[in-house]
Amino acid sequence: MPGPRTLSRLLVLHSWAGIVTGLLLFIVCFSGAVVVFKHEIDLWANPSLARLPRSERPAALATVLAQLQTHYPGATVESIALPDAVNPNYFAWVRGPGANARTKLALRSDTGAVVGPVDSQLGQYLRMLHVFLFFGPRWIVGFLGVSMLVLIGTGVVIHRKILAELFTLRWDRSPRVLLSDLHKCTGVWGLGFHILIAATGAWMGLAPLFEQGYEYLTTGATTAAAATQHGTAPAAMQSLDALHAAAQQAMPGLQTQHVSLRRWGSSSAEAGFSGKLGGHLASTARVDLDAVTGRLNKLHDPRTRGFWSLLNSLMEPLHFGDYGGLTLKWLYFILGLTPALMSISGTLIWLMHRGSPAVR
């Protein structure tokens, strides 16, 4: 059991870690709680899209691509999002002539016809706020995940009588004491969820830094040399639907959510199909095919790539709660608000402590 001096130091660490990161933690945690409804928010913000018919047999990908190329000749189609349980439409991102900068377009799922640019991307803006703080690198949010783990760890040690504090609310004491009790109860009741969110957020924010550093040290020169070897001569593309079928054959169980097109129309064109795996929590499955020959270029199946790849594939669904339907989303939303509230209550407790003598 830690001695009084150790507990005092942990309390100082807990207090200052909360004060330094409190505002950013509130922003990240609050936006994260809301962003579990990203797709629902996007539909709510675009009521005309929500009224479009849902097709049990969506239009062929080749039809969608042809519609885009007809309406935006000369533009580069970068990716296509397929309809899902929430969103009844196709979405596509195009760049270049006829489309100002990078534009998100909606298309009908039944015919593939272009509806037009999406008016509001409120859900995506909230996700950008949560993941990148709009313009920051993702490692900042990863660092906040580490900070949250430090706060959790020090808080558990400081409040050793954790079970006794499950129902400790001293309503007859001073506001500071009551606020402190609420702070501790919220932390105890949400402890497991807070650890899950902090650990997965830290992993997703910081793991890419280590991966990129390792790749740079081990394969940087080779990758740089390979990047200059892409052919740019025009070439005939295979049907996007034929490539999709080949991707699903290469990875049984793939439930495609996004299609990415790289260097489309050239001899080095690639089509990437990414999404979830049927009956599996992993969300980073991907198949890359040569769009000219249909040859398999790369396959990322978390089920067969070892423990660390499988673990990495679980981080996003566990963090955002998009694997269990609407009920789980509401649970993530309610629990996700608690660390945001704790950042406020912790700051208020600190300010009360600095501004007046402790009330016991």
Say what the pLDDT of residue 165 is.
58
Strands (E), the chain: 76-81, 90-96, 99-107, 114-117, 254-262, 270-277, 285-290, 296-300
pLDDT tens per residue, the chain (360 residues)?
Answer: 677 888 888 888 998 899 999 999 999 999 999 999 999 999 899 998 888 888 989 999 999 999 999 999 989 999 999 998 888 999 999 998 755 578 999 999 999 999 999 988 899 999 999 999 988 889 999 999 999 999 999 988 887 665 555 556 666 677 777 778 788 888 888 999 999 999 999 999 998 888 777 777 777 545 444 444 566 788 999 999 999 999 999 999 999 999 999 999 999 999 999 998 888 887 779 999 999 999 999 999 988 878 888 888 899 999 999 888 899 999 999 999 999 999 999 888 888 877 654 444
At residue 253's C-alpha, the angle toward residues 248 and 259, to 5°, is 45
Total Cβ atoms within 10 A of residue 334 = 12
**Backbone phi, then psi, for 173, in 5-degree steps?**
-95, -175
**Which residues are bridge partners to 106 per DSSP?**
91, 116
Q: How far apart are the first and last CA of the chain?
A: 24
**Is the distance from CB of 289 to CB of 247 less than 8 angstroms?**
yes
**pTM flag (> 0.85):** no
Angle, helices 4-35/191-227, rounded to nearest 10 degrees:
70
Say what the pLDDT of residue 11 is.
86
At residue 247's C-alpha, the angle toward residues 39 and 57, to 5°, is 55
At residue 281's C-alpha, the angle toward residues 278 and 283, to 5°, is 85
The letter for the amino acid at 112 is: G
Say what the pLDDT of residue 74 is.
87
Sorted by where each begins, the domain ranges of the chain are 4-40+136-207+327-355, 52-119, 232-320
Distances from the Cα of 360 to the Cα of 170, 175, 254, 351, angstroms = 11, 11, 59, 16
**Is the distance from CB of 295 to CB of 274 less than 8 angstroms?**
no
Say what the pLDDT of residue 8 is.
86
**Is the distance from CB of 321 to CB of 309 less than 8 angstroms?**
no
**Is the distance from CB of 82 to CB of 258 less than 8 angstroms?**
yes
Q: Pick from 315, 264, 318: which is nearest to 289 by CA?
A: 264
* CB neighbour list of residue 36: distance below 8 Å, 6 or more residues apart: 320, 321, 322, 329, 332, 333, 336
Say what the pLDDT of residue 255 is.
92
Say what the pLDDT of residue 349 is.
85
Say what the pLDDT of residue 358 is.
43
